[in-house]
Amino acid sequence: MLKFPGIATLICVFLATATPAQQPLQDKPIPEIDSVVQSVLSDLNIPGASIAIARHGKLLYARGYGKANQDTPVLPTHLFRIASISKPVTAIAIMQLVEANKLKLSDKVTDILVFQPVLEGDAKPDQRWKEITIEQLLQHRAGFNRDKTFDPMFRSTDIAKATKTSAPANPDAIIRYMMGRPLDFDPGTNYSYSNFGYCLLGRVIEKKSGQTYENFVRKNLLEPLGIHGMRIGHSLEKDRSINEVEYHPPKPQKYPSVFPPHELVRPSYGNWYLEAMDSHGGWIASAVDLVRIASGMDEAASVPVLKRQSIQRMFQRPDSNSDPVYYGLGWQVRDVGSGKINTWHTGLLPGTSTILVRRHDGYSWAVLFNGTTEQGKGKPPQPSSVIDPKIHKAVDAVKNWPNTDLFPTYLNLSKSKATP
């Protein structure tokens, strides 16, 4: 889950009516599912949401609720910022390079990425950087602790100044800056969730593939699955993609933009540099896009994204970890007994809360919201946290799912709506 220090949010200019929008895919409602989504929108004052549910490679249900913007109802084709669900996407891309023998999980990141560290004062490079492996980056065990220090992915202006580069700081500037700082712990000895670690993985993909991170993912993951609309999002409201929802954090304060001349902007649109977050939090996608990716990891998938051994490796328990819940390679994993696991990831940015789940019985679902609650002790939980247990129960309560696979219809529809 992405953290954002010191960023307040915006009260919605309207309250969405939590009723399903006109649907291009699934006209017959499923009350067990609809009532859960509607209740979360109503209880948390969230403008809109989209859900998609699949099982064994077939799309069973896709529906939008509430408002995408002031005038438009949410449809299953709408794109949302998916925030940290970008991490499983990056992890899959890394494993594709491993399968192609272009990369090993044991490879050291500094043997692949060569940057000149930005050293301040009499600082010297931390030699522990040379120990960081690709596997440790994927597992958030590489030595970065944002709670102890800070998250550099939200320090674009400061890092641009320190590196004497144009604001906002791009990934290369951020990496040079961080390579000049000491690690927070010895690599491999601890777990600490790190957006920056996945920024490094994005650059590893670029170095090993000879392509941009986005192009590699598009060509090797999205296009084989028939996904055409998913892309890296943009920071500024004027650059919002066609068919992308608007985002509504809960407070109206404005903050300086990371883009010169650093004018005050509304939250979610320029307070941070989304493009630099590509490989850890930058994608925009529909709920159907995400369950298509999740379905591509099933054994019965018509278009598998990885070999079975690679998928099993992604969900393997890290050494010295015996907890029932752990972080594998890009996925949260829960051991539910009898050799079965549930895997998932959530995402959070001001104005967007997301969750993608793959369950042991073949069901997968994604729920995307275009609003968030306030963060902090004693504040309401985020929409993804509230809906998580409710959707598990709702899926179990449905007795008769549609027999038609909606993926072909959706993929044709989304292709017609795709833009460069």
Q: What is the CATH number of the domain that holds 44?
A: 3.40.710.10
Query: 266 and 406 in one domain?
Result: yes
Query: 132 and 242 in one domain?
Result: no
Query: 177 and 138 in one domain?
Result: yes
Q: Which long-range contacts link 373-379 to residues 24+ away (Cβ below 8 Å)?
A: 373/44, 373/250, 374/9, 374/250, 374/251, 375/4
Is the CB of residue 28 less than 8 Å from the CB of residue 402?
Answer: yes
Query: 394 and 246 in one domain?
Result: yes
If one compares 408 and 63, the residue with the highest pLDDT of the two is: 63
Can you tell me which residue has the tokens 């104005």?
A: 351
Domain boundary among 191, 213, 235: 213
Is the CB of residue 336 less than 8 Å from the CB of residue 360?
Answer: yes
Q: Please report whether residue 3 resides in a domain.
A: no
Looking at residue 107, what is its pLDDT?
Answer: 98
Helix (H, G, I), strand (E, B) or coil at 150: coil
Mean pLDDT of the chain: 91
Q: What is the mean pLDDT of residues 250-271?
A: 92
pLDDT at 413 over 90: no
Q: Please report whether residue 258 resides in a domain.
A: yes
If one compares 100 and 70, the residue with the highest pLDDT of the two is: 100
What type of residue is 79?
L
Q: Please report whether residue 9 resides in a domain.
A: no
Query: 251 and 138 in one domain?
Result: no
Query: 287 and 202 in one domain?
Result: no
Tell me the C-alpha to C-alpha distance, in Å, between residue 20 and each of 31, 186, 321, 368.
Answer: 11, 50, 43, 14
Max CA pair span of the chain: 68
Looking at residue 22, what is its pLDDT?
Answer: 47
What type of residue is 416?
S
Q: Please report whether residue 4 resides in a domain.
A: no
Query: 204 and 352 in one domain?
Result: no
Buried b (16+ CB within 10 A) or exposed e, 106-119: ebbbeeeeeeebbe
pLDDT at 19 over 50: no
pLDDT tens for each residue of 121-164: 889 999 999 999 999 999 999 999 999 999 999 999 999 999 99
Helix (H, G, I), strand (E, B) or coil at 107: coil
Looking at residue 376, what is its pLDDT?
Answer: 80
Q: Please report whether residue 15 resides in a domain.
A: no
Domain boundary among 213, 241, 260: 213
Looking at residue 166, what is its pLDDT?
Answer: 96
At residue 145, φ and ψ (nearest 5 deg) are -130, 100
Query: 235 and 203 in one domain?
Result: no
Query: 409 and 269 in one domain?
Result: yes
Query: 286 and 148 in one domain?
Result: no
Predicted confidence band of residue 380 (pLDDT cuts 50, 70, 90): confident
Domain boundary among 213, 237, 259: 213
Q: Please report whether residue 400 resides in a domain.
A: yes
Domain total in the chain: 2
> What's the domain range around 236?
31-86+225-417
Per DSSP, 300 falls in state: T
Q: Please report whether residue 81 resides in a domain.
A: yes
* Other beta carbons less than 10 A from residue 165's beta carbon: 17
pLDDT tens for each residue of 56-83: 999 999 999 999 999 999 999 999 999 9
Q: What is the mean pLDDT of residues 206-227?
A: 97
Query: 82 and 102 in one domain?
Result: no
> How far is residue 352's CA from residue 143's CA, in Å, rounded to a whole number?
28
- CA nearest neighbour of 271 among 167, 410, 161, 419: 167
> How far is residue 142's CA from residue 134's CA, in Å, rounded to a whole number?
9
Query: 77 and 102 in one domain?
Result: no
Q: Please report whether residue 73 resides in a domain.
A: yes
